[in-house]
Amino acid sequence: MNFPISGTKGNAQLEMNNLILVTGGAGFIGSNFVLKMIQDAGSTIVNLDKLTYAGNLRNLESVSENRRYSFVQGDIIDRDLVRSLFEKSQPSAIVHFAAESHVDRSIHGPDEFIRTNINGTFALLEEARAYWSGLSTTEREKFRFLHVSTDEVYGSLAPNDPAFTENTPYAPNSPYSASKAASDHLVRAYHHTYGLPTLTTNCSNNYGRFQFPEKLIPLMILNARDGKSLPVYGDGQNVRDWLYVEDHCDAISLVLSGGRPGETYNIGGWNEKRNLDIVKTICGIVDEMAPPIGRPRSELITFVKDRPGHDRRYAMDARKIERELGWKPKETFESGIRKTVRWYLENEGWVREVTSGSYRNWIATHYSA
């Protein structure tokens, strides 16, 4: 069918059995997923993104003219817009990335997190349910709603606790994680109450190209490159499991095609690292790859006041997705972090565009010693 939608670039011939509506596809993980599905899987993508500070269409320049890609600027909470996208594009799946996702921002301003992560997911579920209910039996069986979530819904682990599994009770500790937990519960409820064929993935900390540099790894890479202070919360002993973003996108693709409706799949990198060790590793790689600054960049590390309610440790048990779908991460942390540092050092134009005045003001406000 022809697909002229106001706000899109170009027209595309779309097929019901291979079209994916992606929300938040201009963000960090979403844009990596869109590129993968167009270039590797041959899918047709309609990308709905509000283009907040973290959305960047430059991430998708390589597919902007592709006949299998269309972009629509809009908000998932706009039900009239979402309804029109369902009617015109007739997707066989939704992959829902759109979310406010930075813990610090949720602490200082939780309103947008409630609006987007809870109310926005509810609006999307309602429109998806109405659309799905009107499909033929065959199309209803093919349809999937995949909700991308986080390990933070499970709360914090003690040093010797076992890793989070899909059966770990929820215990969110920040406005961000609470809003994602609420959206997870809504997705689950729509499967069990209405039969909507939903899938949920809960991932560990992602890193890689296109990540907005308020997050730990890109912030440290860029500050280290420029010889600036490297602010580390508290004592730097907080532990996270790190997942290379392209491995995450591979896992989402597998869950979308082979996951069992109604199920949750944990996606982790099997890479537990202390924040301080992450920063020191980045310093060593930047020392190697970037011009010298006259001293080891590890000397730039400074400890700043800890984040309120800062979870001490996350760890993901990803054996279920390995057992059921055969997924394992391809990248070790050592290989993935080198690729990531190199990408940021080699893409100055992208970095310059996203590190605007408003971004610098945010960093100065929230990472001061």
pLDDT value, residue 16: 40
The beta strand positions in 56-186, using DSSP E, are: 69-73, 93-96, 144-150
Q: How far apart are alpha carbons 279 and 301 in whole angstroms?
A: 8
pLDDT for res 285:
98
Mean pLDDT by 10 residues, the chain (369 residues): 36 55 97 96 93 89 96 97 98 96 77 94 98 97 98 95 98 94 98 98 97 92 97 94 98 98 98 97 98 97 88 95 98 97 96 72 52
**Active site (catalytic) residues:** 151-152, 176
pLDDT score at 368: 52
For residues 2 and 11, the answer to whether their CB atoms sit within 8 Å is: yes
Spatial separation of the C-alpha atoms in residues 110 and 114, rounded to whole Å: 7
d(CA 98, CA 369): 32
- Residues 6 or more apart whose CB falls under 8 angstroms from that of 112 comprise 100, 105
pLDDT at 364: 58
- The pLDDT score that the predictor gives to residue 354 is 87
* Residue reference for tokens 């391809």: 330
Please tell me the pTM assigned to this model. Answer: 0.91
pLDDT on residue 52: 86
Report d(CA 255, CA 243) in Å as an integer. Answer: 16
Q: DSSP code of 114? A: I
Look at the domain 16-204+242-269+312-332 and name its fold.
Rossmann fold (3.40.50)
CB 23 within 8 A of CB 95: yes
Residue type, 346: E
User: What are the tens digits of pLDDT across the range 176-207?
Assistant: 999 999 999 999 999 999 999 999 999 999 99
Pick the closest to residue 149 from 80, 197, 101, 221 (CA basis).
101
CB within 8 A of 66, min separation 6: which ones?
Answer: 38
